[in-house]
């Protein structure tokens, strides 16, 4: 039986509606009104009651599924995750009165060890250099004398530094006027979608893929359709079949350097076919190059957007958050003047400018070579952690799992052997104090979910990585 849930929408525009819905559902779970295993209303019914588009509710559900609050079950619906604590039962257990009327607490849950999807280690960030650059930015005459808002495209100093950086490191023939600085790559994805897609039009995405990108596209009221990924990346032949039969298809979202979540690199042949397909069907490619700096074997592959014969139909999205720390919310987008103008217009409507002192400080780090020095240091550290984790997996999990050593990136895609269920294993691990996302989190359709884990290793030291594998060994389900 589906549960009634109380959703309150502020309607003040401070955050996307799908996030308001997601926050309200989390509140219902935390209050105990929604219990583990409870069924949620269907997206159509909830959208009707809230008077919003169904895609908006769908985006909220996908966001909560990705975070682990909800679970989608094929042909059954969406449910509160069964591995969450039952708040009402927990409250009843702790309400036994002592002689002084104090609440007695039960046995504390084990401390949570969180496996990220591939985040950098904030402890390795060049904090001292960034702090010095930030102080200099705050004291510059240009900052102190400027009483007006800045350019919605971002600080000219950072756009210039990024343009030079992209030309030298990624072969992108770009000028500062073709760069838009954003608050993280997530904003860039949303602005790109709203700039090139009308409501109801279709964007093809990789499956398995990046749920937050899907949420951004759905927030732009686009229809999201998955295209399978194999050992060579997105299946271009299946993408071509989709383009042939789907007249509303207008864009393709890809992560070709290190596919999210499988880490595979799109080969040269498929890259050429993808670019040709985009030209033939007049499709815009949104290329998310979220961790370009982290290539451990060989040289990084040049972006699709770097091809000299490209016709300007690629929007290139990058991030400094993956290079520094998740809390440093600075991303960027490179696009043709026409597309970039539409993105800037939409950015100005929701966020007149970025963090000017931070942008100027980051420009200083790039100009002085500090960012490149940090990238070289981070590659050494993260490559060592990748190798350590791989050895721990081989030693502790043996034939129960299989993976291909990633040439770069910040995570390993760990596929389970036949007979093992990733959701069951994840639930077992959660009770032992380990939070790890099963492959279901990266599937558009639960029926297509891969029995796998994405294990981000960069933000965990060797002792933490040992604990991760030890808990997985201890909580491994029986076949």
String of DSSP letters for 383-402? HHHHHHHHHHHHHHHGGGEE
Q: Strands 179-182, 331-334: parallel, antiparallel or unpaired by DSSP?
A: antiparallel
Q: Are residues 442 and 357 in the same domain?
A: no
What is the average pLDDT across 379-384? 96
In a domain, 265, yes or no: yes
Label residue 470 by pLDDT band (50, 70, 90).
Answer: very high
**How many other C-beta atoms can be found within 10 angstroms of the C-beta atom of residue 324?**
23
Question: What pLDDT sits at residue 145?
Answer: 53
DSSP annotation of 230 reads E
Question: What pLDDT sits at residue 103?
Answer: 31
Ramachandran quadrant class, 171 (left: phi over 0; alpha: psi -120 to 50; beta: rest) = left
Q: Are residues 151 and 44 in the same domain?
A: no
Tokens of 254: 């890809």
Tokens of 432: 């032992």
Please check the confidence at residue 261 and state whether its pLDDT lies above 70: yes
Label residue 457 by pLDDT band (50, 70, 90).
Answer: very high
DSSP annotation of 317 reads E
Please check the confidence at residue 86 and state whether its pLDDT lies above 70: no
Range of the domain at 417: 113-123+373-475
Please check the confidence at residue 310 and state whether its pLDDT lies above 60: no
* 12-41 confidence digits (pLDDT tens): 655 677 778 888 888 888 788 888 888 988
Q: Are residues 254 and 311 in the same domain?
A: yes
**Bridge partners of 413?**
454
Q: Are residues 338 and 425 in the same domain?
A: no
**How many other C-beta atoms can be found within 10 angstroms of the C-beta atom of residue 456?**
22
Label residue 7 by pLDDT band (50, 70, 90).
Answer: confident
| Closest among 185, 182, 212 to 346, alpha carbons compared | 182
Q: Are residues 313 and 165 in the same domain?
A: yes
What is the average pLDDT across 382-401? 95
Q: Which residue has the higher pLDDT, 36 or 101?
A: 36
How far is the C-alpha of 101 from the C-alpha of 99, rounded, in Å? 6
Which residue, of 42, 73, 89, is where some domain finishes?
89
CA distances from 197 to 114, 250, 284 (A): 36, 7, 10
In a domain, 58, yes or no: yes
**What is the pLDDT of the chain when averaged over all its residues?**
86
Question: What percentage of the chain carries pLDDT values higher than 70?
Answer: 88
Residues 314 and 285 sit within 8 Å (Cβ to Cβ): yes
Please check the confidence at residue 283 and state whether its pLDDT lies above 90: yes
What is the average pLDDT across 136-148? 68
CATH of the domain at 362: 3.40.640.10
Label residue 101 by pLDDT band (50, 70, 90).
Answer: very low
Label residue 354 by pLDDT band (50, 70, 90).
Answer: confident
Residues 193 and 215 sit within 8 Å (Cβ to Cβ): no
Tokens 């702090």 correspond to what residue? 131
Q: Strands 314-319, 331-334: parallel, antiparallel or unpaired by DSSP?
A: antiparallel
In a domain, 457, yes or no: yes
Q: Which residue has the higher pLDDT, 226 or 64?
A: 226
In a domain, 325, yes or no: yes
Question: What pLDDT sits at residue 254?
Answer: 97
Domain count across the chain = 3
Which secondary structure element, helix H or strand E, spans residue 284, and what is its range?
strand 284-288
In a domain, 269, yes or no: yes
Q: Are residues 408 and 380 in the same domain?
A: yes
- Please tell me whether the peptide bond between 208 and the residue prior to it is cis, using omega within 30 degrees of 0: yes
Question: What pLDDT sits at residue 141?
Answer: 67
Q: Which residue has the higher pLDDT, 142 or 376?
A: 376
What is the average pLDDT across 293-322? 82
Please check the confidence at residue 377 and state whether its pLDDT lies above 90: yes
Label residue 97 by pLDDT band (50, 70, 90).
Answer: very low
Q: Strands 249-254, 284-288: parallel, antiparallel or unpaired by DSSP?
A: parallel
Question: What pLDDT sits at residue 107?
Answer: 41
Please check the confidence at residue 142 and state whether its pLDDT lies above 50: yes
End-to-end CA distance of the chain: 31
CATH of the domain at 416: 3.90.1150.10
Please check the confidence at residue 95 and state whether its pLDDT lies above 70: no
Please check the confidence at residue 99 and state whether its pLDDT lies above 90: no
* 165-219 confidence digits (pLDDT tens): 999 888 888 999 999 999 989 999 999 999 999 999 999 999 999 999 999 999 9
Q: Are residues 427 and 365 in the same domain?
A: no
Assign 55 to helix, strand or coil: helix
Q: Are residues 334 and 402 in the same domain?
A: no
Question: What pLDDT sits at residue 110?
Answer: 55
Question: What pLDDT sits at residue 64?
Answer: 80
Quote the Cα angle for 327-333-335, to 5°. 175
Q: Are residues 264 and 220 in the same domain?
A: yes
Label residue 100 by pLDDT band (50, 70, 90).
Answer: very low
In a domain, 37, yes or no: yes
Q: Which residue has the higher pLDDT, 122 or 23?
A: 122
Question: What pLDDT sits at residue 85?
Answer: 61
Residues 117 and 374 sit within 8 Å (Cβ to Cβ): no
Tokens of 301: 């592959």
93 alpha-carbon distance from chain centroid = 37
Q: Are residues 170 and 298 in the same domain?
A: yes
């Amino acid at each position: 039986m589906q549960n009634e849930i109380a959703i309150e929408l502020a309607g003040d525009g401070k955050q996307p509606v799908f996030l308001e819905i997601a926050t309200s559902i989390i509140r219902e779970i935390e209050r105990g009104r929604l219990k583990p295993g409870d069924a949620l209303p269907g997206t159509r019914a909830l959208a009707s009651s809230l008077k919003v588009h169904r895609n908006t509710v769908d985006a909220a559900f996908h966001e909560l599924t990705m975070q682990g609050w909800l679970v989608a079950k094929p042909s059954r619906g969406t449910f509160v995750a069964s591995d969450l604590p039952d708040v009402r039962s927990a409250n009843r257990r702790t309400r036994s009165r002592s002689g002084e009327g104090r609440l007695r607490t039960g046995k504390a849950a084990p401390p949570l060890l969180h496996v990220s999807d591939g985040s950098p280690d904030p402890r390795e960030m060049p904090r001292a250099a960034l702090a010095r650059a930030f102080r200099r930015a705050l004291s510059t005459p240009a900052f102190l004398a400027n009483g007006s808002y800045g350019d919605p495209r971002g600080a000219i100093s950072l756009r210039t530094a990024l343009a030079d950086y992209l030309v030298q490191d990624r072969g992108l023939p770009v000028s500062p006027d073709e760069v838009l600085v954003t608050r993280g790559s997530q904003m860039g994805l949303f602005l790109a979608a709203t700039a090139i897609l009308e409501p109801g039009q279709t964007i093809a995405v990789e499956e398995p893929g990046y749920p937050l990108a899907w949420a951004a596209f759905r927030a732009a009221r686009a229809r999201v359709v998955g295209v399978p990924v194999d050992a060579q990346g997105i299946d271009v032949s299946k993408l071509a079949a989709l383009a042939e039969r789907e007249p509303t298809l207008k864009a393709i979202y890809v992560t070709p350097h290190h596919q999210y979540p499988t880490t595979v690199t799109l080969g040269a042949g498929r890259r050429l076919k993808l670019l040709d397909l985009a030209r033939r069907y007049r499709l815009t490619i949104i290329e998310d190059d979220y961790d370009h700096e982290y290539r451990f074997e060989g040289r990084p592959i040049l972006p699709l957007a770097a091809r000299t014969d490209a016709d300007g139909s690629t929007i290139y999205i990058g991030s400094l958050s993956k290079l520094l720390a998740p809390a440093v919310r600075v991303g960027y987008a490179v696009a043709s003047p026409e597309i970039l103008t539409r993105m800037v217009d939409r950015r100005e409507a929701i966020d007149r400018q970025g963090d000017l002192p931070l942008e100027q400080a980051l420009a200083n780090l790039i100009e002085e070579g500090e960012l490149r020095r940090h990238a070289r240091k981070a590659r050494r550290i993260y490559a060592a952690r990748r190798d350590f984790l791989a050895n721990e997996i081989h030693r502790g999990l043996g034939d129960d799992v299989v993976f291909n050593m990633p040439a770069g990136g910040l995570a390993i895609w760990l596929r389970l052997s036949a007979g093992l269920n990733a959701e069951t294993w994840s639930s077992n691990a959660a009770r032992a104090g380990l939070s790890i996302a099963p492959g279901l989190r990266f599937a558009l359709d639960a029926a297509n979910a891969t029995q796998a884990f994405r294990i981000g290793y960069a933000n965990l030291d060797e002792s933490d990585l040992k604990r991760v594998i030890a808990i997985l060994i201890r909580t491994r389900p029986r076949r």
